[in-house]
A and B are shown apart, each in its own frame.
Chain A
Amino acid sequence: MNAQFAPATFAAAEPAAPQASTAEVQIDIRNVGKVYDSKATHQAVVALDGVSLRIKKGEFISLLGPSGCGKSTLLSIIAGFQSASSGQILQNGRPISKPDASRTVVFQDYALFGWMTVQQNVEFGLKAKGLPKAERADIARSLIKTVHLAGFEDKYPHQMSGGMKQRAAIARALAPDPDILLMDEPFGALDAQTRVLLQEEIARISTEAGKTVIFVTHGIDEAVFLADRVVVMSPRPGRVRDEVLVPLPRPRTAEMRSDPWFVSTVKDLWETLKPEWQKGD
């Protein structure tokens, strides 16, 4: 553990790993901009402006920024839910144009299917793949075990707490065995204790599964605790403003929260971001 490591911040324009071969870049965000035309007010909102980012396979990225800086917009363009106004995003060299099971999303409001049991929710993506029933059930059961929901297979979302719902949603997103997991403030609606538990859980799961993760949050400690690289965004217009490389080893464990590097990085980030975030409110 490199306790003497100073927070490594880079200018946005400079690529994170300058000589990274294109082969290991999994997601290449090239100069992406997004403008929303508001019909009601006749005012265009520039949600994203010239965002560039290269993400390597297996990397855990935290997208950190105050609300309204375009994190969700960027994530949904990566997911393929909407298209960029300018620029493009490549996945393994091919432009992303629509949603695909190689990029699954975990939402802040869970977005579970309320009419399906946990088991059926997790099986959804497997059914879409056309897997036979028995195989589907087996994979889903083991994923439900992975997220510590064994015994709740036949429960409906409304019968579970927020934390349990999010565990189910994570299992559902992992089911199609995606290359990339996209998470939009997944723990934002949970109470503090549940949030900490799930942070450790996602740290474990993402390391075990070896997935590329893009994790959107406005929690500084959460961003630093989970990520290999924290991408700091600033609002109006949404831009990448800073990057912080996190030298802590993976999997991340609870005691790293008291690591001096962790503590000072979180504090420094807060000090630099405070003026901007106060403006936002």
Chain B
Amino acid sequence: MEAEADAGRLPVETMRPRFTMIQNAFAGRPMRAAVGLTAFFAIWQAVTQLNLVDGFLLPSPVAIAEALWQLALDGSLWVHLGASLQRVAVGFLFACVVGLALGLICGWWRTVSDYVRPVIEALRPIPPLAWIPITILWFGLGDAASYFLVFLGAVFPVFIATYTAIRGLDRNQMNAALCLGAKPWQLFTDVLIPASLPIILPGLRIALGVGWMCVVTAELIAAQTGLGYLIQQSRMLFQINNVVAGMVTIGLIGFAMSAILERIERRVNAWAPSERS
């Protein structure tokens, strides 16, 4: 019986190292991300090269790379990218200030939340696109309109994350801090903030992603610079390669922002159960 079991186990043991070798080559999430992205662009290239899709309807990755290179050389890419990034930064900052403050207040005082939350929940379903006409009426065609639309997109995720985090604070932990003599400031900086970051930070990351989408939406209609404007202008000039080049830039920048924030989250929230695997 025992010998049989041993015999049965032997092949498995010898096969193991080979499996782990293959696994190691693909180990690490950055590696897998690179493989996934490469495969995506390779298939795209193949589809266009084999003329399965008309090159005018969907340019090949190589053609887009060329277009991007040209835009980078003549400097217009950087001007538009810079404009978009600056707008998302300002709008996002406003959203953080308002969303964090409001979330904190509503999370802490139930009565305030009873008044404020219905208003927020009624405003939240209105998509930023629907805000554009009134935004132009209020702010005209300029940076302020973009700031406002980014703010609108980002403020709700920030608010909800903050509100949820504060509501979910552990009563015993707060009590423990109080009985140890914590003053309000220590309670805030040493307990309340670190305890709620595991929920707030992912909320900020989502908010930034939404804000990034909003800035492009705003620029399609209500701006004279930015990646959204680049796309819109190229469309009118039938420069389809530049249209897709703009889209690819938006995608890659959004991806990078999200990846950077996720790294920060991992470091800050290393202690939290959700960050352990």
A176 touches B271 (CB 8 A): no
Selected from A99, A113, A115, A182, the residue in CB contact (under 8 A) with B178 is A99
**Residue B20 interfacial (CB < 8 Å):** no
The distance from the CB of B184 to the nearest CB of chain A, in whole angstroms, is: 11
Which residues of chain A come closer than 8 Å to B180, judged between CB atoms?
101, 104, 124-125, 128, 172-173, 175-176
Which residues of chain B come closer than 8 Å to A79, judged between CB atoms?
175, 179
The answer to whether residues A101 and B271 also contact, given A111-B172, A113-B173 and a CB cut-off of 8 A, is no
Which residues of chain B come closer than 8 Å to A173, judged between CB atoms?
180
**Residue A100 interfacial (CB < 8 Å):** yes
The answer to whether residues A111 and B175 also contact, given A125-B180, A128-B186, A129-B181 and a CB cut-off of 8 A, is yes
A100 touches B179 (CB 8 A): yes
Selected from A80, A100, A127, A158, the residue in CB contact (under 8 A) with B271 is A158
Please report which residues of chain A, range 163-187, place their CB below 8 angstroms from some CB of chain B when the two chains form the complex.
172-173, 175-176, 182
Tally inter-chain residue pairs, CB-CB below 8 A. Answer: 74
Stretch at the interface among B2-10, B56-64, B154-162, B187-195: B187-195
**Residue B183 interfacial (CB < 8 Å):** yes
Please report which residues of chain A, range 107-153, place their CB below 8 angstroms from some CB of chain B when the two chains form the complex.
107, 109, 111-116, 124-125, 127-129
B: contact size bracket: 20 to 34
Docked Cα-Cα span, A99 to B273, in Å, equals: 29
Closest to A157 in B: B271
Docked Cα-Cα span, A156 to B270, in Å, equals: 10
State the main secondary structure of chain B at its contact with A: helix
**Residue B121 interfacial (CB < 8 Å):** no
B179 touches A103 (CB 8 A): yes
**Residue B79 interfacial (CB < 8 Å):** no
The answer to whether residues A158 and B179 also contact, given A113-B173, A124-B190, A127-B186 and a CB cut-off of 8 A, is no
Docked Cα-Cα span, A129 to B181, in Å, equals: 7
Docked Cα-Cα span, A81 to B175, in Å, equals: 7
A105 touches B175 (CB 8 A): yes
Interface size in chain A (residues, C-beta < 8 A)? 32
What does the 1/0 interface line of A66-87 toward B look like (CB < 8 Å)?
Answer: 0000000000100111000000
The answer to whether residues A107 and B271 also contact, given A125-B181, A176-B181 and a CB cut-off of 8 A, is no
**Residue B262 interfacial (CB < 8 Å):** no
Docked Cα-Cα span, A7 to B270, in Å, equals: 52
Which residues of chain B come closer than 8 Å to A156, judged between CB atoms?
271
Selected from B172, B177, B271, the residue in CB contact (under 8 A) with A124 is B177
Which residues of chain A come closer than 8 Å to B175, judged between CB atoms?
76, 79, 81, 99, 105, 107, 111
A115 touches B181 (CB 8 A): no
A80 touches B183 (CB 8 A): no
B273 touches A80 (CB 8 A): no
The answer to whether residues A111 and B186 also contact, given A128-B181, A158-B273 and a CB cut-off of 8 A, is no
What does the 1/0 interface line of B35-46 toward A look like (CB < 8 Å)?
Answer: 000000000000
17 new A-B contacts at CB < 8 Å, known A101-B181, A113-B194 = A80-B179, A104-B179, A107-B176, A111-B170, A111-B173, A111-B176, A113-B176, A113-B195, A114-B271, A115-B194, A115-B195, A115-B271, A124-B190, A125-B180, A127-B190, A128-B180, A128-B181
A-B interface, 4 closest residue pairs, ranked by CB to CB distance from nearest: A101-B181, A125-B180, A128-B181, A111-B172
Question: Could you jot down 28 A-B contacts, CB within 8 Å?
Answer: A76-B175, A81-B178, A100-B179, A101-B180, A101-B181, A104-B179, A104-B180, A105-B175, A107-B172, A107-B175, A107-B176, A111-B173, A111-B175, A112-B176, A113-B173, A113-B177, A113-B190, A124-B190, A127-B190, A128-B180, A128-B183, A128-B186, A156-B271, A158-B271, A158-B273, A158-B276, A172-B180, A176-B180
